[in-house]
Amino acid sequence: MLMLVLASCTATFNWREVKLDEQQFFALFPAKHHFEQQTFRFEKNELTMTMVASKAGDILFAIGAIPFDAKVTSEKTLTDWMKSNVAKIVQGKSEQQLIQFEVKTAGTPALIIPAQGYNLKGFGPDGVYRIYWVRWVVRQKADGQSFIYQMSAIQSFKAEPTAQIQKQTTEQIETFMGGFHPY
């Protein structure tokens, strides 16, 4: 009987703490992560986003880190641009409500910094149902160098999932979002 119980266990979500010095954050990822970088033009500046991503089960977890000079690039304009891109992924039945929350830094003593995001669910323009959470955190340094972080977790379904499946997905996403700490 014990062997049967052990055989049914999986390590789909094997949470591990990852420290990324260049991007200046700690995070929890549910599986082995990988990196990608992309340079893009924003207003008159070239910015580079480093994306760190991990997939467990059918959920994709990702953190994008964009270093920028707050004296040259507007934090608000950059954040607003990122928010406008999110609106295209899920077309929920209700209006998107921006959520305000706080994130603790990894330093000692830990600082509390404001953040914002969306908890979205619904069908996208392609007819696929998604649960999609996204958060933005801006960490400004005294020297003007800053980072904007975009934390995302998304799961796609062929049809609207049951309340139980939505609850399980939400629990995994909450673990990921709560494990992020810039420094």
The answer to whether 104 touches 181, Cβ cutoff 8 Å, is: yes
Instruction: Specify the pLDDT at position 152.
Output: 97
User: Is 100 strand, coil or helix?
Assistant: strand
**Tens digits of per-residue pLDDT, 138-153?**
998 777 789 999 999 9
Q: What letter does residue 160 receive in the DSSP assignment?
A: P
Token pair 């649960």 is at which residue? 131
**Tens digits of per-residue pLDDT, 39-66?**
999 988 899 999 999 999 999 999 999 9
In terms of residue numbers, what domain contains 93? 2-182
CATH for 26? 3.40.1000.10
pLDDT-derived band at 122, boundaries 50, 70, 90: confident
**Tens digits of per-residue pLDDT, 61-75?**
999 999 998 888 889
Please name which of 162, 158, 153 lies closest in space to residue 31, comparing C-alpha atoms.
153
- Could you tell me the two tokens for 2? 């014990």
Residue 37 CA to residue 35 CA, distance in Å, equals: 7
Domains: count for the chain: 1
User: Is 70 strand, coil or helix?
Assistant: coil
